[in-house]
């Protein structure tokens, strides 16, 4: 059974640009959550999608957005990139929504903003 | 606000010894806790979880202890091996039905 797949694994952008990251969940998983990981802040919750609906959202500015498709694949977008957006962006999938199901993480997309 | 913290940022142990990683949580309403392991270059991997109606749960070489009185969570790893070297995160479900992760503890295993 394939795990959670994130693309691209690495990318470099400059300030002001925008970026789109993709996540393919484990087959049969309908919930996809996104996290930002930085050395200083640890793992910060961005948002969760379940059955194409945003179910929960963290405390990030509106420049961070996401969506989920009918096949459960998800994308997140960051517009007007800032230096502080440099981070590892992790996607996690689970069968159920909320926090009581086991989350399966991908290996992340490492974004560097110059 | 909600927060989950760790007492020690780095823990160094000798191979074969037992490791104990501690975590303090602030939200007394949390009723579900998880430990994750993250190896270098990889995403976090589920280790073990525990619900608030329990105070201890055992897995393979790992035990999680929950003390709700002092809002403390610990992960015990028996006979620590080099492959256990990683960053360990605790997480709680908090009030808003999203997982809140601690800042992580790095476990270093020496031969």
**Residue from the list A43, A48, A102 with its beta carbon closest to the beta carbon of B46:** A102
Taking contacts as CB-CB distances below 8 angstroms, the residues of chain A near B34 are 102-103
Residue B3 has pLDDT above 70, yes or no: no
Q: Quickly state the pLDDT bin for A100 (edges 50, 70, 90).
A: low
Token pair recorded at residue A32 = 């996809």
Q: Quickly state the pLDDT bin for B46 (edges 50, 70, 90).
A: very high
Distances, alpha carbon B71 to alpha carbons A63, B9, B25, B28, B100, in Å: 35, 19, 6, 7, 14
Task: Give the Cα separation of A91 and A101 in Å (integer).
Answer: 15
Q: What is the mean pLDDT of residues A27-47?
A: 90
Q: Which of residues 62-101 of A touch B (CB under 8 A)?
A: 90, 92, 98-100
Residue A66 has pLDDT above 60, yes or no: yes
Residue A86 has pLDDT above 70, yes or no: yes
Q: What is the mean pLDDT of residues B40-62?
A: 94
Taking contacts as CB-CB distances below 8 angstroms, the residues of chain B near A108 are 43
Average model confidence (pLDDT) across chain B:
89
State the smallest CA–CA distance between residue A25 and chain B in angstroms: 14
Residue A4 has pLDDT above 80, yes or no: yes
Among B51, B50, B49, B35, which residue's Cα sits nearest to residue B84? B35
Residue B2 has pLDDT above 50, yes or no: no
Taking contacts as CB-CB distances below 8 angstroms, the residues of chain B near A43 are 44, 89, 91, 101
């Amino acid at each position: 059974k394939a795990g959670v797949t994130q693309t691209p694994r690495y990318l470099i952008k400059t300030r002001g640009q925008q970026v789109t990251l993709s996540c393919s969940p484990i087959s049969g998983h309908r919930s996809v959550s996104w996290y930002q990981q930085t050395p200083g802040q640890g793992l910060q919750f961005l948002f969760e999608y379940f059955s194409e609906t945003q179910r929960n959202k963290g405390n990030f500015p509106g420049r961070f957005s996401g969506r989920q498709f009918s096949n459960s694949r998800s994308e997140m977008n960051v517009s007007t990139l800032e230096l502080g957006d440099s981070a590892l962006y992790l996607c996690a999938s689970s069968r159920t929504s909320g926090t009581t199901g086991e989350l399966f993480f991908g290996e992340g997309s490492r974004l560097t903003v110059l | 606000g909600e927060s989950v913290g760790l007492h020690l940022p780095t823990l160094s142990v000798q191979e074969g010894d037992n490791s104990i990683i501690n975590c303090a949580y602030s939200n007394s309403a949390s009723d579900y806790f998880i430990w994750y392991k993250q190896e270098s270059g990889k995403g976090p991997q589920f280790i073990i979880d525990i619900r608030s109606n329990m105070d201890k749960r055992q897995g393979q070489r790992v035990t999680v202890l929950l003390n709700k009185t002092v809002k403390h969570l610990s992960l015990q790893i028996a006979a620590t091996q080099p492959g256990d070297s990683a960053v360990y995160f605790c997480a709680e479900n908090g009030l808003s039905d999203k997982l809140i992760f601690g800042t992580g503890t790095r476990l270093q295993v020496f031969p």
